[in-house]
Chain A
């Protein structure tokens, strides 16, 4: 920021669009943290002079002298539910998304062929793929987001006398064993890695709160593994 226009060392330039988006996202997160902190202050929590070692947020303390980090224990848990390493549902969602992403080029190709062949007056039944609805898809899984399913192809107007051309075999949502196995294996490896890490942490943990969280992580990992095994069978 220029000081009376005379200092060139601090010339200010407006942020780029990308930077603005990052700033906006950071601000929204900070707004959430502030709102939560305000609620807790009104409930009688004490604002301490210390901050969290993990995220740097100012710590609160309840009446029982227990420290509480709003960011780690409330906001980050909303994001952790999308992490497949911590949440079985997220792992399943990621697996399904990958499988559908792998099948989507074949589906769109068939749709295009059908559209071409029915140009003479035929009609198409709706080739919309019934989309499985992931339970927790906000925030995107860590493994990357597959391109989304193709938009539903609207049936073109048909004349009453035109024969209806049935679409070829409707793409099924049932995954093929060949495409699913590597995905499942990958998810299983990730979960096992996290399980090992959690076990190591639990052995060295001295905090009650951290131990409880690690135990819940281990049980989540176990459930995820069970689900993956059931899916693989």
Chain B
């Protein structure tokens, strides 16, 4: 039997309680001076993070509204790369303002007014009240150094809040260099951002156990697999490579299959398995003959090839790299302007890629261990167990000490990869491709740095090309639009388009919130919701200013609000910038989430009593959720 019960008490009060609790969680790590949260997994692994999304998704939340809010934050963060903590702060402030209003109106009424305001008036207010005070950062208008400066000023506050003050300058500079080198030739400058974001998993390599200051750029592409067969290049000729996506020598027989060798024809009746295998190898030899005719010396494979294939490759002195990921192979194909081999028997010129070099790449801490040993033992250059033959007891003690240290160092293992580079030509897809090597003290820390890099690119993409991000907000607009507002909403997308296409940036640190708050107050008489939103934004700017300057400064607000005739030079002279598009999308997301929360009337739980005699079916009990 199933029982349905409803949670007693007001849903709205629960919503505020939940969002306030989440606000208390993220407030500790908010801003450049915010702290980090240490999470310990059940496996004992520790994660230290400042990322709002990471913190919120790691909390143990069983309440459906809490899960809904965290889900909204996660989706917003995935779409824009930034703003998860701001999301919660703004949502909490907004719901607090609503508490007063809910004494005289219903939640549904308030949700309706909020939705109407968000769809009809907000974009216009941003256009008139915020955009004039910003700086237009369209890429095609700017020379390269201005563009670099703008990107660096956008990245600095992002990395400050995500990774802390210590390394943010270094990481911002590295990211800028990475993006500058990844411009796509003969295309819109922002297409480089698309290219990098889409191919980021293949364009970066993580190395654990090394300080983050060792992160750097290297030329070309790093393939995250090792050579199965390797022959070092002796000459400086361009290297030819071919990509196989399937088994060259297909596995004809599986378990339980029966192979009948020979035909009813008398001539073949006496054929045996030996002839069959010889025939199979002969076809493989023909493939290699074809490869040798093209001068191919490197074979990249998406799958693990057979032993016969590897043997023939070694015989032909060809390098083989197996189990290359699909992302890396597609990037390789795109950069080399070639196509993978479809039919092994018909290899063509279009399948042969030309590389500047293809060599092994070792990333890790192996070199560090050798230096320690050599310094102490003089002529010893390799680590071997003959140390135990020394007579000196003191030496033995030091041996044990260093062995212990070295044993610890072995935990930070090194990895061998394949490093390829492509020759420059006018037809290059990317002007000067580089790959990013991201270092970190531990695996989790390194992964965090990598996700911060990726989110920063996502943030820049939202700044310069926000249309791709608005697919999410467009879906929400479709969900919220009803028959009454269809005719009236025809002008809303135009204004939204203008806000998003403007590529406007404003000084970071609360300027957007203060400017918009002032603009919203001017509409407070006509739209009471506008006043509530204005108060909520001011509350958030108070949090921001408290983090940056230690106390809320009305003087700072006054300076910002008296910026009529603000020049773009004044905006650009500041040390950090933030994107109006990102803030606009954040605002729309928060309004949508608040509207959805206000429209929840009742939460029903279903409990299914398990019958010990019958089998448990999937998803029939809520007892184990969370």
Report whether chain A binds chain B: yes
User: Secondary structure of the B side of the interface?
Assistant: helix
**CA A15 to CA B61, docked complex, whole Å:** 35
Min CB distance, B40 to chain A, in Å? 9
A41 touching B20, Cβ below 8 Å: no
Whether B24 lies near A38 (C-beta < 8 A) is: yes
Selected interface stretch from B8-16, B223-231, B275-283, B440-448: B8-16
Q: In the bound complex, do residue A47 and residue B105 qualify as a contact, i.e. CB atoms below 8 Å apart?
A: no
Q: Are B7 and A2 in contact (CB under 8 A)?
A: no
Chain B CB within 8 A of A56 CB: yes
Which residues of A sit under 8 angstroms from B8, Cβ to Cβ?
51, 56
A35 at the interface (CB under 8 A from B): yes
Give the complex CA separation of A43 and B48 in angstroms. 14
Contact B22–A1 (Cβ < 8 Å): no
Set A10, A27, A47: member contacting B18, Cβ < 8 A: A47
Q: A12-B101, A15-B100, A34-B21 are in contact. Are A58 and B60 (CB under 8 A)?
A: no
- The answer to whether A1 touches B63, judged by C-beta atoms less than 8 angstroms apart, is no
Residue of B nearest to A23 (CB): B100
Q: State the Cβ distance, A111 to closest chain B Cβ, in Å.
A: 44
Give B13 Cβ to nearest chain A Cβ, in Å.
7
Given A34-B17, A34-B20, does the pair A27, B96 have CB atoms closer than 8 Å? yes
B410 within 8 A of A: no
Residue from A1, A33, A45, A50 within 8 A of B109 (CB atoms): A1
Question: Which B residues touch A51, using CB under 8 A?
Answer: 7-9, 14
Residue of A whose beta carbon sits closest to that of B19: A34
Chain A interface residue bracket vs B: 20 to 34
Check if A12 sits within 8 Å of B104, measured CB to CB.
yes
A56-96: CB near B (< 8 Å → 1, else 0) gives: 11100000000000000000000000000000000000000
Quick one: which of A12, A31, A45 contacts B528, CB cutoff 8 A?
A12
- Is the beta-carbon distance between A38 and B62 smaller than 8 angstroms? no
B595 to chain A, nearest CB (A): 15
Tell me, in angstroms, the Cα distance from A58 to B15 when the chains sit together.
10
Q: Which residues of B contact A23 (CB under 8 A)?
A: 99-100
Closest to B64 in A: A49
With A1-B528, A51-B9 in contact, do A58 and B59 touch (Cβ < 8 Å)? Answer: no
Q: Chain A residues near B112: list those with CB within 8 A.
A: 3
Check if A1 sits within 8 Å of B13, measured CB to CB. Answer: no
By the criterion CB–CB under 8 Å, are A47 and B62 in contact? yes
A30 touches B25 (CB 8 A): no
| Residues of A contacting B: mostly | mixed
**Inter-subunit contact B16/A47 (CB<8 Å):** no
Whether B455 is near chain A, meaning CB under 8 Å from some CB there, is no
| B24 contacts A39, C-beta separation under 8 Å | yes
A138→B204 CA distance, assembly (Å): 60
Q: How many residues of chain B are within 8 Å of chain A by beta carbon?
A: 42
B61: A residues at CB distance < 8 A:
41, 46-47
On whether A49 and B105 interact (CB within 8 A), knowing A1-B110, A2-B528, A31-B20, the answer reads: no
Per-residue interface assignment for chain B, residues 97 to 138, with 1 indicating a CB less than 8 Å from any chain A CB and 0 otherwise: 001110111000110110000000000000000000000000
Choice from B22, B24, B526, B626 contacting A46 with Cβ under 8 Å = B626
* A33 near B105: Cβ-Cβ < 8 Å: no
Give the residue of A3, A10, A57 whose beta carbon is less than 8 angstroms from that of B17.
Answer: A57
Contact status B7-A41, CB under 8 Å:
no
Task: For the complex, give the distance between the alpha carbons of A47 and B103 in Å.
Answer: 27
CB-CB under 8 A from A2, the residues of chain B are: 528
B20 touches A45 (CB 8 A): no
> Is B17 a contact of A48 with CB atoms below 8 Å?
no
Question: In the complex, what residues of B have CB within 8 A of residue A39's CB?
Answer: 24
- Whether a CB of chain A sits under 8 angstroms from the CB of B66 is yes
| Least distance between B539 CB and chain A CB atoms (Å) | 12
Instruction: Give the CA-CA distance A211 to B120 in the complex, in Å.
Output: 58
Interface centre among A10, A30, A39, A58 (most CB of B within 10 A): A58
Task: Give complex CA distance A41, B603 in Å.
Answer: 22
Contact of A41 with B528 in the complex, beta carbons under 8 Å: no
Which partner residue on chain B sits nearest A50 by CB separation?
B7
Q: Which residues in B have their C-beta under 8 angstroms from that of A58? A: 14, 17-18, 21, 63
Q: In the complex, A51→B6 CA distance in Å?
A: 11
Q: Please state if B60 and A38 are interface contacts (CB–CB under 8 Å).
A: no
| Minimum CB–CB distance for B67 against chain A, Å | 9
Nearest-CB residue, chain B, relative to A34? B20
- Shortest distance between the CB of A9 and any CB in chain B (Å): 9
Closest 8 CB pairs of A and B: A38-B24, A34-B20, A37-B21, A46-B60, A56-B9, A38-B25, A1-B105, A49-B63
Residues of A within 8 A of B (CB): 1-5, 10-13, 15, 23, 27, 30-31, 33-35, 37-39, 41-42, 44-51, 56-58
Given contacts A1-B110, A11-B104, 7 further A-B contacts (CB under 8 A): A1-B101, A1-B529, A23-B99, A49-B62, A58-B14, A58-B18, A58-B21
- CB<8 Å pairs between A and B, sample of 30: A1-B101, A1-B109, A3-B109, A3-B112, A4-B527, A11-B104, A15-B103, A33-B17, A34-B21, A34-B23, A34-B24, A38-B22, A38-B23, A38-B25, A38-B28, A42-B28, A42-B37, A44-B60, A46-B61, A46-B62, A46-B626, A47-B61, A47-B66, A48-B63, A49-B7, A49-B63, A50-B7, A51-B7, A51-B9, A56-B13
